[in-house]
Amino acid sequence: MNLFKAIPPSDEYEIIDRLTRGGADRKKGEELLFTRFAYFIKDAIYKYSLSYEEAFDLYSDTIIAGIEKIVNGSFQGQSSLKTWLYSIFHNKYVDLIRKKTTNKNSVHRVVEIPDVLLQVSDEARTIIQHLIVKTDHEVLRQKLLQIGNNCKELLLFWADGYSDKEIVDVMKYKTPEVVKTTRLRCLDKLKQLYHSP
Amino acid sequence: MIDYSDFIDGYFNKTLSKDEVGRFEQMLAEDGNFAQEVAFYISAKQVLKEQLIIEKKERFKELLSQQGVVSMMPDRVPVRKLWIYRSIAAAALVILLISSWYLFYSRPLPVRQTADSYIQQHLTSLPVNMSATLDSIQQGLKLYNDGNLNQSLKIFESMVNRDTGNYSAKKYMGIVYLRLANYDKAFLYFQQLENYPLYSNPAIFYQALTLMKRNGPGDKQNAKQLLQQVVKDNLEGKAVAQQWLKNW
């Protein structure tokens, strides 16, 4: 199959449907979306003179952001999926260029704020941000590899925005309540590992 | 140590009652241990998200190589035959000039498309200050530029709730509502913006833009009057307004 060949827009409905249906369908939807516009990579190499690695990263980041927005309902279908994704792709390209030019001076780097923090009041956000900076993310990353495959898989689904109900479907748990208990237990396990020497 | 995990999870999943949310935020401000638990919860999710992105990219890479696409990717950009591109560019320029003449001089202004094109060019990405920390306006703008319109709206809305005189937040609320196609609310916020004695106030121009985008009965005529006001009073957006009025 030639992934760089344009496919009729009728496929877009299936992609969006699979992604919003969630559960086991979502993974297939993600793969369809990724392959659907893979020719953007080639475009970026020609138009923006990027290396293959840079173009691949740019496109993958676009698709990951696009998936998140489709799943949470931000994509309202006011433009075609291609136009919409291309605007994300272009914005990410601008960010990349901006990052390249400002990297020389770290003062201009923008601090990323985790999405979940946006619902917290400004004062509380400052306190938590301060504590987050103190957390050693590298250690946390290493400990994540020690919590066991099942826990890791479950937590990754959670971080990907799957609800407990959807995780029942994809990981064959009995009920959402069991998923929640297991998920919190896994997080606790990660915390114990993080604090252990 | 008290186990707060269920409580924290409930807060971020928005399953807590109003009272519990209040208690959560109070504890966050007063109890250091609790704040640490919340910070761990968020850090863990952040690290998991980063891991998720790594794994997704690996899966995508595998997908491309399975389909044999990687081998099709050029290592370097091949040398292009420039004369072909130059001829195409020249032909495109001629077509562009002819179609521009046709669009701008031989037809009345298509108001909705004109508004769309203006929004696309000037309002889909708003300038963000580059600084080490982000205040609420900058956070809102960053979310807006990333396409998270609803989230950016929440930030601007909370700013207006805290300080009803915050004209910047009101301006951005109007712009977000315009992008969300909620024209009535967009117009309302631009009307409120009009009341501020600013050196450079785009309120009237944005009101006209909103009416052009909505393009309901009477909107075109009202938008024209507003644009005429922009030109007459030398307000922000005058040059664009003059251009549009020429072909109205």
Predicted TM-score (pTM) above 0.95: no
Mean pLDDT to the nearest integer, B32-41? 89
**By the 8 A CB rule, do B227 and B208 touch?**
yes
Mean pLDDT to the nearest integer, B67-79? 50
Residues from chain A contacting residue B150 (CB–CB below 8 Å): 74
Whole-number pLDDT of residue B75: 46
Distance CA A37, CA A65 (A): 14
- The answer to whether residues B57 and B117 belong to one domain is no
> In which residue are the tokens 């840079």 written?
A54
- ipTM, two decimals, is 0.85
Residue B135 has pLDDT above 60, yes or no: yes
Could you say which of B6, B29, B77 has the minimum Cβ distance to residue A124?
B29
Residue B1 pLDDT level (bands cut at 50, 70, 90): low
Name B227's Cβ contacts closer than 8 Å, sequence gap at least 6: B205, B208, B241, B244, B245
Query: Which pLDDT tens digit goes with each residue over A185-194?
Result: 999 999 999 9
- Do A49 and B77 count as a contact with CB atoms less than 8 A apart? yes
The total number of structural domains that make up chain B: 2
Tell me, yes or no, whether A109 lies in a domain: no
Residue of A nearest to B77 (CA): A46
Q: How many CB pairs under 8 A join A and B?
A: 157
- Do A3 and B64 count as a contact with CB atoms less than 8 A apart? yes
B221-245 exposure pattern, b = at least 16 Cβ within 10 A, e = fewer: eebbebbbebbeeebbbeebbeebe
Whole-number pLDDT of residue B130: 62
Task: Provide the domain limits for residue A143.
Answer: 115-195
- The answer to whether residues A95 and A128 belong to one domain is no
Query: Which pLDDT tens digit goes with each residue over B156-207?
Result: 988 888 888 888 899 999 999 999 999 988 998 998 888 888 778 899 999 9
Tell me, yes or no, whether A159 lies in a domain: yes
Could you say which of A120, A123, A187 has the minimum Cβ distance to residue B44?
A187
Whole-number pLDDT of residue A80: 85
Question: Hey, which of B49-53, B110-114, B132-136 has the most confident mean pLDDT?
Answer: B49-53
CATH label of the domain that carries residue A28 = 1.10.1740.10
Whole-number pLDDT of residue A5: 44
CATH label of the domain that carries residue B135 = 1.25.40.10
Distance CA A173, CA A166 (A): 10
- The answer to whether residues A63 and A122 belong to one domain is no
Extract the tokens encoding A107.
């003062």
> In which residue are the tokens 């396990």 written?
A189
Low-confidence ranges of chain A (pLDDT < 70): 1-10, 102-114
- Do B25 and A94 count as a contact with CB atoms less than 8 A apart? no
Residue of B nearest to A181 (CA): B6
- The answer to whether residues B126 and B216 belong to one domain is yes
Residues from chain A contacting residue B115 (CB–CB below 8 Å): none
